Structure 1
Amino acid sequence: MADKVSASVRVSGPPNSSFLVGYPGISATLPRIEGKVEIRPEQGYTAPVAISLVRICLQRRETIHPAAENVAKRHLGTPRRDATDLVGKELLLYRCATGRETESVMAMDLPFVLFIPFGRGGEETNRRIPPASLQLPSRTAETYYELVVTVQQGQWAKKVAFPVPLQRYDTLSTFGMYNRPETKVATVDSIVTLGISLPRWSYGPTDPITVYIKLAPNLDWMAKARKVTINKLTLAIEEEITYNPEGDEPTKKVNRLHKQVQTVNTKLPEAGYVTNMGVVFPHKDPRDSNGIVRRAPPAFPNYAVTSFTTSSTLYKIEFFLSIKAHLTSARDITLRQPIVICPMDHQACKEEMDAIEQAAKDASSIDPHNPMLPARHIVLASDPNALATLGLCMVGGQKKPLIE
């Protein structure tokens, strides 16, 4: 009986390329997932499969478990939380003829294109740009995506999930908006002012970060300012993870990734003290102890950083440069400047720019409301040449290989 045969489901991408076409985060490239759903009988490839309908969607799955880093807390702390969201819309790829419960199918190839949202969308979750796939150490937080195909076979449905890694490209350090200098000023007791200037504010693994620092006395309080000694300056890169940022009780965790100290031991001059400090953003070596780069898990890309700037429903990761002036005869001044961390270094971002430009040109001819898909290919059991499409023919009541 056809309805007893389970369907074998496979999703294949375009020839010689991945499922993902375009650049998520860059609307001009119309980011989308292209491919086709292939359905065949699971056992005995000449037995037809009963199919009622076929649907496909992109699903985002997120989990957080802030206590996972600590063995004791893992058992005693809050349990793992998870959330599943639909990204964009679900597509109906096939429905059998009206009035019939199922259609007996020998083979089925259903092309599809799923557009990934690229609008900010405010409160509308399904219109927001989806965050990049990421798994933090000890799985304290993770985001991953799956293509979920639902095949309805009469009374029962079969769901098959295929992991799809998804990256974001709107934080590339080569974009002009990140290459404008950022300045910030802070004072604690009005005697000394700490000012900083950053030439740019998006960085990737192994990118140098240079900060221009100026300590200036308050000219109205010069009698007090002359007594001030600058002991040292410290520069630190901090990663701040907020778990459950949109919930009732958000929790924050700050990790110091790198710290540099510059010893000064100088009286504060009347003209002020000017210097610059530089650090290199730490990178994660993808090689193991034998020097082998292991294949990334199917749902997560291989990143050269442990984490990067991202914002999701259950967690948010931000980065700051923390500059502290250690003073005598005045209170210490600390200044925190937000920066953006991109998963790619500056050179890799440069190399990606031409491809992004080309993807935008390719996307300009696509109508998202009518994306002109290839024709679907369906072979029904009742078709006169149904067996021929499987490379077989009937000879004397037996199935034999078809020799043309």
Structure 2
Amino acid sequence: MIKASLITHATNVCFQPRIEGKVEIRPASGYSAPVAISLVRICLQRRETIHPAAENVAKRHLGTPRRDTTDVVGKELLLYRCATGRDSEQVMTMDLPFVLFIPFGRGGEETNRRIPPASLQLPSRTAETYYELVVTVQQGPSIQNKYAFPIPLQRYDTLSTFGMYNRPEHKAVTSDNIVTLGISLPRWSYGPMDPITVYIKLAPNPDWLAKARKVTIQKITLAIEEEITYNPEGDEPTRKVNRLQKHTQTIGAKLPEEGYVTNMGIIFPHKDLRDANGIIRRGQPAFPNYEVTSFTTTSTLYKIEFFLTIKAQLASARDITLRQPIVICPLDHQACKEEMDAIEQAAKDASAVDQNNPMLPARTIVLADDPNALASLGYCLVGGQKKPLIE
């Protein structure tokens, strides 16, 4: 019997995303008995599951069953192999440093080269992305043990402080060529409790002014919608739309010839991480504590998108609905600002890392015939008996 433990030092998210750590192997039962080790491997494994019917108790039993998939992210690393010609080595202690590089290229259809999605668990486990470091220990020709250690993985490519999200977005639609609905968004990435402000304009068609003068603007509704697509790459994708927030402005006025202009605002909802006593709840080891229920992400078995829906209800003309995609980040705008310095430093650190030679610390392997083998476990021989070593 052996005991394997894992210590991870850092996860770098810029340019050279990687997990640095150390695998520690010790005897489990019989604290001073050496263990046979043939080889040790480690990999980062991603497990994804979807069950669209899980939210409904009746459908959970009658609907489609849970579907899952398991992939290795990047490559599996060989950390140790015993000498050629031997089945195993008798080992007292073993410390094996490692660096696992995470893919950061688009990779097309090659799953192992895609940027892995962030860890996420939706309510009722309707969709889930779960990562774990899996250590495989081969003990002789017939015994193989696997040890899994959950590890949360976060992404920082949707931060609202990035310049690409701070460009204004414009869009205009019409339903019957009498009235045009146009909007303008100052930016299009938001997080929990971030205000979303939309500039809205209803303009008459100058070629149909006679009909446009009869139009009455009854009300304008602004809503945030979450759209989850299950099995997006399959033959029969399933879509589910959830309305997260809604704000309605009652107008009740005729459409002016110069058009009607207004600004509407809405707050993106957040999930409270504290209980009734104000204490932050303990999260699961595999999932970060997000202040949102979900965020913009694309995975193999599911995809989550967000939209701003603006609907103008009119009299004497057809209602107009405009749907504008937005990006939802797990962090609010202030938290995004605070991450920028850390990202800049991580980028500098990553520039000095060579994937072919990551400059790992030396590994430590103490064999059973080593003179100080017992000392490595914290014991010594006193009068022929094993006693705790006091230095």
**TM-score normalised according to structure 2 size:** 0.98
CA-CA distance at 1:144 after TM superposition? 0.8
CA-CA distance at 1:121 after TM superposition? 1.1
Match runs of 1:152-231 below 5 Å? 152-154=138-140, 155-231=142-218
Q: Which residue of 2 aligns with 1:94?
A: 80
CA-CA distance at 1:186 after TM superposition? 0.2
Q: Which residue of 2 aligns with 1:21?
A: 11
DSSP 3-state at the match of 2:164: helix
Q: Which residue of 2 aligns with 1:357?
A: 344
Supply the RMSD in Å over aligned alpha carbons: 1.0
Q: Which residue of 2 aligns with 1:232?
A: 219
CA-CA distance at 1:403 after TM superposition? 5.2
* One-letter amino acid matched to 1:69: E
DSSP 3-state at the match of 2:314: strand
User: Are the structure 2 counterparts of residues 275 and 54 from structure 1 closer, same or farther at C-alpha, using a change threshold of 3 Å?
Assistant: same
Inter-partner Cα distance in structure 2 for 1:290 and 1:401: 45
CA-CA distance at 1:391 after TM superposition? 3.0
Inter-partner Cα distance in structure 2 for 1:41 and 1:201: 54
DSSP 3-state at the match of 2:375: helix
Q: Which residue of 1 aligns with 2:67?
A: 81
Inter-partner Cα distance in structure 2 for 1:393 and 1:189: 89
DSSP 3-state at the match of 2:281: coil
- Residues 71-107 of structure 1, C-alpha deviations (whole Å, 9 max, x = no match): 0001111111111010010000000000000100000
Inter-partner Cα distance in structure 1 for 2:379 and 2:128: 47
DSSP 3-state at the match of 1:13: strand
Inter-partner Cα distance in structure 2 for 1:403 and 1:367: 41
Is 1:118 aligned to residue 108 of structure 2?
no
> In structure 2, which of residues 127, 132, 156 is the aligned counterpart of residue 146 of structure 1?
132
DSSP 3-state at the match of 1:11: strand
- Residues 12-52 of structure 1, C-alpha deviations (whole Å, 9 max, x = no match): 123xxxxx4212xx42xx11111100000011211000000
* One-letter amino acid matched to 1:49: V
Q: Which residue of 1 aligns with 2:272?
A: 285
Q: Which residue of 1 aligns with 2:57?
A: 71
* One-letter amino acid matched to 2:157: D
User: Are the structure 2 counterparts of residues 402 and 325 from structure 1 closer, same or farther at C-alpha, using a change threshold of 3 Å?
Assistant: closer
* One-letter amino acid matched to 2:3: S
> In structure 1, which of residues 333, 336, 344 is the aligned counterpart of residue 320 of structure 2?
333
CA-CA distance at 1:287 after TM superposition? 1.3
Inter-partner Cα distance in structure 2 for 1:347 and 1:128: 29
Q: Which residue of 2 aligns with 1:3?
A: none
Inter-partner Cα distance in structure 2 for 1:288 and 1:66: 28
DSSP 3-state at the match of 1:344: coil
DSSP 3-state at the match of 1:330: coil
Any gaps of 5 or more consecutive residues in structure 1? 1-5, 15-19
* One-letter amino acid matched to 1:214: K
Q: Which residue of 1 aligns with 2:4?
A: 9
DSSP 3-state at the match of 1:354: helix
Q: Which residue of 1 aligns with 2:121?
A: 135
> In structure 2, which of residues 278, 282, 292 is the aligned counterpart of residue 295 of structure 1?
282
Inter-partner Cα distance in structure 1 for 2:333 and 2:49: 30
- Residues 219-238 of structure 1, C-alpha deviations (whole Å, 9 max, x = no match): 01111111111110000000
DSSP 3-state at the match of 2:158: coil
CA-CA distance at 1:308 after TM superposition? 0.3
Is 1:48 aligned to residue 43 of structure 2?
no
CA-CA distance at 1:295 after TM superposition? 1.1
Inter-partner Cα distance in structure 1 for 2:178 and 2:295: 37
User: Are the structure 2 counterparts of residues 81 and 403 from structure 1 closer, same or farther at C-alpha, using a change threshold of 3 Å?
Assistant: closer
Q: Which residue of 2 aligns with 1:61?
A: 47
- Residues 278-310 of structure 1, C-alpha deviations (whole Å, 9 max, x = no match): 000000001123332111100000000000000
Aligned residues: 390
Q: Which residue of 2 aligns with 1:109?
A: 95
Q: Which residue of 2 aligns with 1:242?
A: 229
Inter-partner Cα distance in structure 2 for 1:390 and 1:84: 37
